[in-house]
Structure 1
């Protein structure tokens, strides 16, 4: 099969896969409010708004809207950075932490079901290939797109 055909087939399979529940949930972990909550968890519960924007790769206006929405759900609160009054620090609330951890657990459980059906051998092979693909993409994004070794 030619690379163009492989790419077309891969796109079709990925689109179909990401329409299904386990992958929808996993996808949410990498974008939007769930991602921001997870990022705050990884930062010890607090981060500057600017850091959230950098992590999500989006504008300060988008972050402000997301933080406002999450404040309305009692998942976060904002305060002025005492070191620089022009900056805002976003803090995770206990409710936000519980929501993020609960979502992550539900996504993990869905993935466990999928992996159980896939089987250990294929699951390990899938992991090996996705790790290799991530390494290649990282190299491509840093400008070092030499061919990967087999």
Structure 2
């Protein structure tokens, strides 16, 4: 049985690799570029500090700074001093930014709908169901790993790699 799953794993990785060649630029920007920053801002009701954006968008602070410069040039965001702490900066989505994001969202929904229509109703529903199930498993496993780290005296990743040295008592 394990051999069957390993064979399927190789096929799945191959299929993902094949898809990646066609989608890499768009997916990369959506996951780690302007769209990731805008999504983080949208989920926070339109304003965050640059460090909060970096944390929530999973983007490095220097990358966030570059992205914010680009978004400001497009008039999608503004940076203003925090009223409570003048040393901090707050990034806010502009009305123009909101309109552009909504336009991109509508285009994305339309294109994704066209793709799902090509799959047909049964395969489209099955794809969405399987991706949802994958996310459930990933979340469960991430939660398990987080609990292991929080409650272990010697948290060390199962793969043997770690950012910080660990000690064995």
Aligned length: 144
CA distance in 2, matches of 1:60, 1:24: 21
Residue of structure 1 equivalent to 2:99: 98
User: TM-score, normalized by length of structure 2?
Assistant: 0.75
Change (3 A) 1:35 1:95: same
The yes-or-no answer on 1:68 pairing with 2:69 is yes
SS at match of 2:31: coil
Conservation of the 8 A alpha-carbon contact between 1:80 and 1:88:
yes
1:48 paired residue number: 49
Q: Is the contact made by 1:29 and 1:104 (CA closer than 8 Å) also made in structure 2?
A: no
Runs of 4+ in 1 over 6 A off after TM superposition: none
2:8 is aligned, of 6, 9, 24, to 6
Which residue of the partner structure matches residue 128 of structure 1?
A: 129
Q: For each residue in 1:64-84, what CA deviation from the matched residue of structure 2 results, as whole angstroms up to 9, or x when unmatched?
A: 111112111211110111112
CA deviation string 1:105-145 (max 9, x = no partner)? 11111110111111111111111111111011112222259
Q: Choose 1 or 2 for highest CA Rg.
A: 2
Mark the runs of 5 or more structure 2 residues left unpaired by the alignment: 147-169
Q: Distance in 2 between matches of 1:101 and 1:42?
A: 14
**Which whole-Å CA distance do the structure 1 matches of 2:59 and 2:20 have between them?**
22
Q: CA–CA distance in 1 between the matches of 2:17 and 2:107?
A: 22
Helix, strand or coil: the match of 2:78?
strand
RMSD of equivalent CA atoms: 2.2
Q: Distance in 2 between matches of 1:107 and 1:51?
A: 26
TM-score, with structure 1 as normaliser: 0.83
After superposition, the Cα gap between the structure-2 partners of 1:29 and 1:101, relative to the gap in structure 1 and judged at 3 Å, is farther
- Do the aligned partners of 2:29 and 2:36 also contact (CA within 8 Å) in 1? yes
